[in-house]
Amino acid sequence: MFTRPATPEDSLAAAEVVRLVYEEFGFTWDPDDYHADLHDLAGSYLDAGHGFWVAEIPGRGVIGTAALEIFPPIAGAPGLPTEHGGITRIGGTDCSLERLYVIPDARGGAGTALMREVVDEARRRGRKRMEIWSDKRFEAAHRLYGRFGARPVGERVCSDPDQSPEWGLVIDL
């Protein structure tokens, strides 16, 4: 298994990884709205100055995804939930982990490798604080984030089709 920066040609494979995880947890797959970004990695991430990585197994293909979104610091008390643009965000964050998913039968290292790519890139770009919003059912992911220094700071209801409850976590970079 290895990780690499995604290319526009990885869009279909990235969407399939996330779809499989959504299927595993019984979430609603919404390719035309909530998941539309995955069908256009170039327009949604790569050309917009964000980062996107895939984990791949030779001969098998893409088995995991992760993204880094870059933005100006969110106003509010650093590291605490705040309202921003009509949704709950984390004050003082200037980047976020997005779309970290690994297909069910390929877990065991890929998530760690992808998380390392995202955190390392955020630090290279001089980011100070990373925001993570994660469905409350993703307990293994929360343990992974904790190994990278993430601490829970709040909760919200996601704007996904299922209105999923999420934990908000922050990593001081």
**Residue whose C-alpha is closest to residue 69's, from 87, 85, 45:** 45
Res 146: pLDDT: 98
Q: Is the pLDDT of residue 116 over 90?
A: yes
Res 108: pLDDT: 87
Q: What is the mean pLDDT of residues 158-166?
A: 94
pTM of the model: 0.96
Q: What is the mean pLDDT of residues 134-162?
A: 96
Cα–Cα dist 8/103, whole Å: 20
Q: Is 57 helix (H, G, I), strand (E, B) or coil?
A: strand
Give the residue ranges of DSSP H helices in the chain: 11-25, 41, 110-124, 139-147
Q: What is the mean pLDDT of residues 123-151?
A: 97
At 83-105, the pLDDT tens digits run: 999 999 999 999 999 999 999 98
Q: What is the mean pLDDT of residues 110-139?
A: 97
* Average pLDDT taken over every residue of the chain: 96
Res 168: pLDDT: 98
Would you tell me the crossing angle of helices 139-147 and 110-124 to the nearest 10 degrees? 50
% residues pLDDT > 90 (the chain): 97
Domains of the chain: 2-172 (3.40.630.30)
Side-chain-facing half-sphere of 132: CA atoms under 13 Å: 30
Res 97: pLDDT: 98
Tokens of 93: 């964050």
In the sheet with 2-5, reading across from the earlier edge strand, the strands are: 2-5, 51-57, 61-70, 95-102, 129-135, 165-172, 151-157
Q: What is the mean pLDDT of residues 51-62?
A: 97
Res 70: pLDDT: 98
**Residue whose C-alpha is closest to residue 67's, from 138, 127, 122, 141:** 122
Cα–Cα distance list, 79 to 89, 116, 135 (Å):
10, 21, 19
Q: Is 157 helix (H, G, I), strand (E, B) or coil?
A: strand
Q: Is the pLDDT of residue 121 over 90?
A: yes
**Residue whose C-alpha is closest to residue 13's, from 47, 76, 57:** 57
Burial tier of 118 (Cβ tally within 10 Å: 0-12, 13-18, 19+)? buried
Res 137: pLDDT: 94
